[in-house]
Amino acid sequence: MQGIDDIKLSADMMSALNKAEEGQSIVKSIDYTRPLNEYPTVQKIAEFLRMRVKHENVKTDSLQFGGRVVCDSMEKYLENEGLSSSMLKATLKTPLHFEFALSDDKEELEKLRDPKYFNLGTFLHQCILEPTKFSRVIVEPDFKLSSHEGCDVGIAFYEGLCEERGIAYPNVPYESLQTKKNYIEALKKAADVQPVSEEHNLKIKVLKRHIDHYGGGIIKRLLTHAKREISIYHTDTESGLRLKVRPDAIQFKENIGVDAIISIKSTACEDLQAFYSNAAKLHYDLSEGMYQEVVSAATGRDFNTTIMIMLQTVPPFAVAVLVWSGEDIEMGKHKFRVALQNAKEIIEKKSTKGYEVYSEDGHLGLIEMSLPRWNQTERLPQNI
């Protein structure tokens, strides 16, 4: 394979990029990891689910094979030094992008420890995996924490909420503005609720209705006895690199007829075609191919199916359950292997090069620019 330090933006590569912009196929033959007919069909999964009544709980201990499968916290996962799919995606750009991606987990860890705002997509993601969160949504009265009067309104609201729900709460003395603020936070924690705006509350209610009704309740069935947000660590035998993945859920053939990765994505895309385009742009296929490879190697099971639950955060707030095709998963696995090799070479060479990797030898980092071919469309004359 060509080293990443030696990648050049050749005329052939520019032509390929132009074709990609135009929506033309530029795929050359890649070595598939398995025949495509070994990927389960939607029909096979649906037929199994129509017949299946009872679910089985697969023990986590039974999944230990070529790696570690553990129910640890997101903090523990982010602190682990293994390479994630987001880090590997960066190697498809430049070594500099990879260097910056290595600090992404630290940034995510800081956000986790100090959440600054409510994110609808993140909350919906949590609700799919933990449906009781839907019932924890509340709309607070309008009060300001910057005044004693505002804090008093907040205290009265949350004390009343705890009493209404039969929840014990800490009745502590408070006098200063800061102690009132601290007391409100303690009450919120005791009530175990998620304050949202009226707008978000309406969106969440609509989405919950769509989630419950979609496919006759298929989403609940897909997730029954699945392992949710479980961390999986594995050392790749070919590259020697330590890897980590944390799928939203993994489900088993005992319950749905196949060993499957389940991914949840919220999106502001207006329709499925726009979502598919966005998935390709963001290299979702690399992540899903990596999940199948790593989870299979770590558990000793053949995870050959990826099911993606899409939640639309714009009207009409629709839901879709998508089964990935074998062709797209194979392309994702190909990207994953290329990214692994790139990461290995970047680490070994300690390269931090940026876009100059696309410059020809002796061109001092100068890159010949070429706009996409669709820009060359002839302009129609105007009668001004």
What's the pLDDT tens digit per position in 47-81? 999 987 788 999 999 999 999 999 999 999 999 99
End position of a domain, from candidates 198, 229, 259: 198
Q: Is the pLDDT confidence value at 26 over 60?
A: no
Within this chain, do residues 89 and 216 fall inside the same structural domain, yes or no?
yes
d(CA 160, CA 153) in angstroms, rounded, equals: 11
Q: Is residue 366 part of a domain?
A: no
Residue 245 · residue 46 · CB < 8 Å? no
Q: How many CB atoms lie within 10 A of CB 345?
A: 19
Q: Which residue has the tokens 């132009």?
A: 18
Q: What is the pLDDT of residue 21?
A: 47
Within this chain, do residues 103 and 141 fall inside the same structural domain, yes or no?
no
Residue 74 · residue 63 · CB < 8 Å? no
Alpha helices in 52-176 (DSSP H): 74-79, 85-90, 95-101, 104-113, 120-129, 148-164
Domain residues for the domain of 185 are 120-198
How many CA within 13 A on the CB side of residue 229? 14
Q: Is residue 149 part of a domain?
A: yes
Q: Is residue 381 part of a domain?
A: no
Q: Please state the rounded mean pLDDT for residues 77-87.
A: 95
Q: Could you tell me the end-to-end alpha-carbon distance of the chain, in angstroms, rounded to an integer? A: 56
End position of a domain, from candidates 149, 176, 198: 198
Q: Is residue 374 part of a domain?
A: no
Residue 359 pLDDT class (50, 70, 90 cuts): very high
Q: How many CB atoms lie within 10 A of CB 30?
A: 13
Within this chain, do residues 155 and 299 fall inside the same structural domain, yes or no?
no
3 state DSSP class of 122: helix
Model confidence over 281-328: pLDDT tens digits? 999 999 999 999 999 999 999 999 999 999 999 999 999 999 999 999
Within this chain, do residues 54 and 178 fall inside the same structural domain, yes or no?
no
Tokens of 100: 């910056």
Return the higher-pLDDT residue of 29 and 209.
209
Within this chain, do residues 110 and 175 fall inside the same structural domain, yes or no?
no
Amino acid at 365: G
Within this chain, do residues 233 and 347 fall inside the same structural domain, yes or no?
yes
Q: Please state the rounded mean pLDDT for residues 342-367.
A: 94
Amino acid at 75: E
Q: Is the pLDDT confidence value at 19 over 80?
A: no
d(CA 66, CA 297) in angstroms, rounded, equals: 6
Q: What is the pLDDT of residue 28?
A: 58
- Residue among 16, 45, 37, 42 nearest 28 (CA): 16
End position of a domain, from candidates 130, 163, 198: 198
Q: Is residue 364 part of a domain?
A: no
d(CA 189, CA 366) in angstroms, rounded, equals: 56
Range with lowest mean pLDDT among 137-141, 243-247, 274-278? 137-141
- For all residues of the chain together, what is the average pLDDT? 89
Within this chain, do residues 71 and 220 fall inside the same structural domain, yes or no?
yes
The structural domain count of the chain equals: 2
* CATH code for the domain in which residue 322 is found: 3.90.320.10
Pairing of strands 227-228, 259-267: unpaired
By the 10 Å C-beta count (0-12 exposed, 13-18 middle, 19+ buried), 294 is classed as: buried
Within this chain, do residues 84 and 220 fall inside the same structural domain, yes or no?
yes
Q: Is the pLDDT confidence value at 3 over 70?
A: no
- Residue among 114, 118, 139 nearest 127 (CA): 118
Q: Is residue 371 part of a domain?
A: no
Q: What is the pLDDT of residue 6?
A: 41
Distances (CA, A) of 306 to 54, 197, 256, 325, 338: 22, 34, 12, 8, 21
The widest CA-to-CA distance across the chain, in whole angstroms, is: 77
How many CA within 13 A on the CB side of residue 70? 11
Task: Give phi and psi for 194, each to the nearest 5.
Answer: -120, 100
Within this chain, do residues 183 and 323 fall inside the same structural domain, yes or no?
no
136-144: list long-range contacts, CB under 8 Å, 24+ apart.
Answer: 136/192, 136/193, 136/194, 137/193, 137/194, 137/196, 137/201, 137/204, 138/193, 138/194, 138/195, 138/196, 139/195, 139/196, 139/197, 139/198, 139/201, 140/195
Within this chain, do residues 232 and 340 fall inside the same structural domain, yes or no?
yes
Within this chain, do residues 96 and 157 fall inside the same structural domain, yes or no?
no
Within this chain, do residues 231 and 325 fall inside the same structural domain, yes or no?
yes
Q: Is residue 370 part of a domain?
A: no
Q: Is residue 16 part of a domain?
A: yes
